[in-house]
Amino acid sequence: MAITYDLVKEVTANLYDWSLRRIPESSKAEFRKALASETEPQARQTLAFMLDSAERAETTGKFLCSDAGVPSYSIKIGSGARMEGDIRQAIVDGFAELTRTIQPPLLRFVTNPLTNERSFHGKDMPLVSWDLVGEGDYLDITCAPKALGGGRWAAVEILVSPSLDEIERCVLEIVLRAGGQHCPPVVIGVGIGGTFDHAAKLSKDATLRPFGERNPELMVAQMEERLTRAVNQMGFGPMGVGGSTTTFGVHVEYASGHGFTPVAVSFNCWINRRTRARIYNSGVVERIE
């Protein structure tokens, strides 16, 4: 048995479709907590409207947002996975077929950066990252489409032998620059160390972590808690119109590097589109999120 072209094509297309119509369970839980703790009436009303709308989308199959987002997949490959056929092409073909058949239709948002021409396909589409992990006999696929509102505020700064304090200040300055523009309450992913590209990827991976899970290293977990509190003291609030719920969580990942320390920060908007499934060599598909 093996993980086939056909199965990958079907599963990756479905993951994208599902992500457009339902927010993650851990996001719903954060909304309920925030509704209990947020003191600004306007912010509470906005949070309630968001959660109601998300529930409406889930029960009726409507889209959460008109910007379906650039298709983006993070794939973890167990060393025991056996693949059959062109798996990369399966993702391309699955997305192409989906854009022709999905209801309601998608708007054209895949943009050629050199001409600004928009279509449903383009160079390197869908965006896919591949990581080898452990000895598992599966592909673990997360789909997290990236829309314009959340995507445009990410940034990487390169510091030189910074203190922890300087790293945190750098993160907060990037967060301040974004203000409330990214459809808060957002998830904020922070990647520290490695190289420029590696820090950016860590930051993206950090946004994919469900709320409620802290980094296993105490020092990093404490940083996450400090930064989450600090961001929410800024006061931008839901949709950036005021309140104490600007982020549901700052998630930090790090890698060792050299004396130059990239600090990458990225955001995902409140609908936090993310779906995840595992395809095993046996052909079994396990839906995780």
CA dihedral of 157, 161, 166, 171, whole degrees rounded to 10:
30
**Alpha-carbon gap, residue 204 to 199, rounded angstroms:** 9
Taking CB under 8 A as the binding criterion, the range among 3-11, 71-79, 208-216, 264-272 that sits at the site for another protein is: 264-272
The single residue among 14, 35, 63, 84 that binds another protein, judged by CB under 8 A, is 63
- Tell me the pairing of strands 247-255 and 155-160: unpaired
CB of 39 to another protein, least distance (A): 8
**Of 45 and 101, CB closest to another protein:** 45
Token digits for 165?
């304090």
Q: Note if the bond before 210 is cis, omega within 30 degrees.
A: no
**Of 116 and 256, CB closest to another protein:** 116
**Alpha-carbon gap, residue 178 to 238, rounded angstroms:** 13
**Alpha-carbon gap, residue 170 to 160, rounded angstroms:** 12
Q: What is the number of residues in the chain?
A: 289
The beta strands (E) that lie in 14-170 are given as 72-77, 83-84, 110-111, 118-119, 127-132, 138-143, 155-160
CB of 125 to another protein, least distance (A): 17
The label of the residue with tokens 């032998």 reads 161
**Of 18 and 136, CB closest to another protein:** 18
Residue span 120-149 as binding mask against another protein, x where in contact by CB under 8 A, dash where not: ----------------------------xx
CB of 65 to another protein, least distance (A): 5
Binding flag, residue 118, another protein (CB under 8 A): yes
The amino acid that residue 237 corresponds to is G
Binding flag, residue 168, another protein (CB under 8 A): yes
**Of 48 and 285, CB closest to another protein:** 48
The residues of the shown chain that bind another protein, judged by CB under 8 A, are 41-42, 44-46, 49-50, 52-54, 56-57, 60, 62-67, 104-105, 107-108, 116, 118, 148-149, 152, 165, 168-169, 172, 176, 179-181, 183, 226-227, 229-230, 233-237, 239-242, 269-271
